[in-house]
Structure formats: C-alpha cells, structure tokens
Amino acid sequence: MNQNIAHELSSEVTDSFKNRLLGNGKSRNTVKMYSYIAEQFLEFIGYDRERINLESIEKFKEYLAIEKGYSKSSIYLYVRALQSFVNYLEVNDIGRLKAPKRPQKVPNYLAGEEVRAILKSCSDIRERLIVELLVYTGIRVSELCSLRINDIDLNGRTIRIRSGKGDKDRIVVFSEEMLPDLRSYISMIRSRMKSEFLFPTSKSKKISPVTVEKIIRRIVARAGIQKKITPHTFRHTFATSLLRNGADLRTIQILLGHSSISTTQIYTHLDENALKVGYSKFIPRYQVNL
C-alpha cells in the first residue's frame, strides 16, 4: 500500500480511537498520549493492520527499551495505551498482552524547611500564590493553569477544580494563610487585566504548565535547593504531609481527585464540611514572616 494512503488510513483510525476514549470519559491528556502512542506503533509496523499482534507488540517493547532507552515506567504506559488500542480494534488473540510490572517509586516530597525556604524565595505575590496553591491544595499543574477567578470562593475557602483528570469537577479547600494573598492578587488582576483566568498571560490567556515549571525552577534556584523539584513535587508533599499528620486515605483521595482504588482507596463521598474539617485538622503550616 502507498505509504501516504496508509498514513491517511491510520489517521482515520486514531481519530476514531480518540473519540472512543473521550466517550469513555478519559481526560484530554490521556487521549492525547494514547493516540500518540497508537500512531507510533502503527508507524513501527508500517501501518499494516495484519501485523497488529503479540509478536509485533513485543518487538515494539524491545525497540522502546533497547533502541529508545525508555524506562519501565514509560513502557508500562505504552503497553497500557496499546491494550486500550487493540481492544478498540477488536483484534483477536491479543488477550495475553501484559504490561511490565509498574515500578513502585517513593514519591519525591519536600521537608517543611524546604517549603519555607521556597516561599521566602518568591519574588512577588504571583510566584508566592502559585507555590501556595500547589503545596496547600495539592492540585495538578494543569488544574492550576486552568483556574478561573470565579472558581474561587473566598468566603467559603474553597476552589472548584474544573475539567480535571477524567473531566470531573471537584472541590478543594485552601488554608486561611492564603486568604490575604488571594484577596490582594485577585483585586490586582481585576484592576489590570480583563481575563477570566487567575494566572493570565500578557494576552489574557491561561498560563501554560511549561511556564509554571520554569517559574518553580527559578524560585528553587534562589532558595539554594539542589534537588529536582517540579510542580508535582508539591502535590506529593501535600499528600505526604496529610498522611503523616494522620489524615485518612479517603480524605486525601478526594482532595487529590483520585478516582482509582489502586491510587488511594475505594471512593467514599465526603461533603464540603467534612473536607474542611479534615483539611483544617491535618494541613501542615508553612508560616512565613515577610
């Protein structure tokens, strides 16, 4: 088959695969990653549907490990995506496909002294608020970037997280320590820009995760901390701190927006008042005198 024609056919397949994933409630990030992996695999087998079998997938795994040098965690993700893809294609005799055992990594988290050093190293209220939101609420960097001013209830000390993982809204609670910064910052943004986003760009669009990562790197460098710290490190710090201070896994699960029982525990509904009680009781304090 002509390579261009084959590629066009594969694009139709992956587009249809995307729609199926979206219909099944997968997050946009998952859909983007899974379809990208499916396209990579199709390219690897020359866009030949007849070669979608266990042998080709095993060879693809070897290629990823040996030629590309991918880690077990990355290969695990690839195989999970391919499992979903071949199920969508209804390919026979593929049920024996197994992902490598997912490595159990100890989450990288920060000590209280490190958090305080980072907060002290923020150059302005915007930087400080970014760090505070990450470490005091445990939200994902993508959720931080998508925050809208109207999502924040200053009186109730809650934030509605929209279009999170799995496209399910949830409520998170923020600490009293954040109130002064939030009030001042929101007032400043409303007076200077016409944007619905809490952290807008100069063009009033939402800030990107890459930009947040760069901001975090600059702050960490000023704090003199040598280890690698990403926005997700603050999420691990939030969860670890709650757990160490006695919070139950169900509270942590809901605050983090986890849906899988393998991540924390079977989902149990907690109302906003219960979340506030659990949050206020267990959240660590990083008071900084500025």
Q: Which residues are catalytic?
A: 140, 165, 232, 235, 258, 267
Q: DSSP state, 262?
A: T
The Cα-based distances of 289 to 56, 119, 241 in angstroms read: 60, 10, 21
C-alpha span between 259 and 25 (Å, rounded) = 12
CB 82 within 8 A of CB 97: yes
Both tokens assigned to 185? 């910052």
Q: What is the DSSP letter of 261?
A: T
CB crowding 65-86: b at 16 or more within 10 Å, else e: eeeeebeeeebbbbbbbbbbbb
Neighbouring C-beta atoms of residue 214, cutoff 10 Å: 11
3-state DSSP assignment of residue 89 = helix
Count the Cβ atoms, other than its own, within 10 Å of residue 129.
20
Closest residue by Cα to residue 113 from 224, 266, 262: 224
Task: Give CA–CA dist 269/283, Å, rounded.
Answer: 20
Q: How many CA atoms lie within 13 A of 65 on its CB side?
A: 12
* Paired sense of beta strands 158-161 and 152-153, if any: antiparallel
Are 266 and 156 contacting, i.e. CB atoms less than 8 angstroms apart?
no
Query: Is residue 237 classed as helix, strand or coil in its secondary structure?
Result: helix
